[in-house]
Amino acid sequence: MQDRIDLIEAEIPRLRRYARYLTGEAERADDLVQDCLARALEKLHLWQPGTNMRAWLFTMMHNLHVSNVRRAQRRPQSCEVTPENPGPPTAGNQFDNVQLRELADALERISDEHREVLLLVVVEGMAYQDAAEVLDVAVGTVRSRLSRARDALREALEYIDPKAAERARKELTHVGGLNLGY
């Protein structure tokens, strides 16, 4: 049992990074990771030794996130703005590097399914088969989505700033080891 828990613990940094991309907020990402870990420990008896623990956890997190998004769409949350509660603070500029800001803007412009496949395959380095399991699609679908996602990202970068796209082509492979197929 402890060896399974050790496998789960080893995946926490990747889970946190993926959750941050999915939610876009640190607090919601932490909640998503916590929910995923609680569910994983609760369902640990269902994991089959010899299978990919990371894919199992990412699938669980992906499904939790989809459920959370659907639940939020059914019941939109409201917050009363008062002098004591002026509303959420405005986000500060988190990026010192212009290329990272442009990339983040471009990632926001592409569809969720394109962003997810880019994050899993390019950022997390998952094999196509593992990404297919997480997204519950065929491997061929992952390949075609990844190709379209790369095209969409290029177009989004061109839209933001044509020079940004050119800089990205030259420099993105050096940022965090990203290889976006340029």
SS3 126: coil
Is residue 120 in a domain? yes
- Cβ-count burial 133-169 (b if 16+ within 10 Å, e if not): bbbeeeeebbeebbeebbebbbebbeebeeebbeebe
Domain range for residue 141?
98-174
Identify the pLDDT of residue 6.
87
Closest to 123 measured CA to CA, from 168, 176, 164, 166? 176
pTM above 0.75, yes or no: no
For residues 16 and 57, membership in a common domain is answered with yes
Tokens of 177: 């080891």
Query: Is residue 35 included in any domain, yes or no?
Result: yes
pLDDT tens per residue, range 121-174: 988 889 999 999 999 999 999 999 999 998 888 888 877 666 665 665 555 444
Residues 46 and 111 in one domain: no
Task: Give per-residue pLDDT as tens, 68-118.
Answer: 888 877 765 556 666 666 665 554 444 345 667 777 788 888 888 898 998
Distance CA 43, CA 29 (A): 21
Contact between 58 and 134 (Cβ < 8 Å): yes
Nearest CA to 149 out of 113, 100, 101 is that of: 113
| 117 and 59 housed in the same domain | no
* Number of domains within the chain: 2
- Does 57 lie in the same domain as 124? no
Residues in the chain: 182
Assess if residue 132 is contained within a domain.
yes
Q: Are residues 159 and 110 in the same domain?
A: yes
Q: Say whether pLDDT at 8 is over 80.
A: yes
Given pLDDT bands bounded at 50, 70 and 90, which one contains residue 176? very low
CATH number at residue 114: 1.10.10.10
Q: Are residues 166 and 105 located together in one domain of the fold?
A: yes
| Measured distance CA(125)–CA(131) in Å, rounded | 9
Would you state the pLDDT for residue 164? Answer: 60
What's the CATH code of the domain at 57? 1.10.1740.10
> 61: closest CA among 7, 135, 112?
135
What pLDDT, on the 0 to 100 scale, is given for residue 96?
43
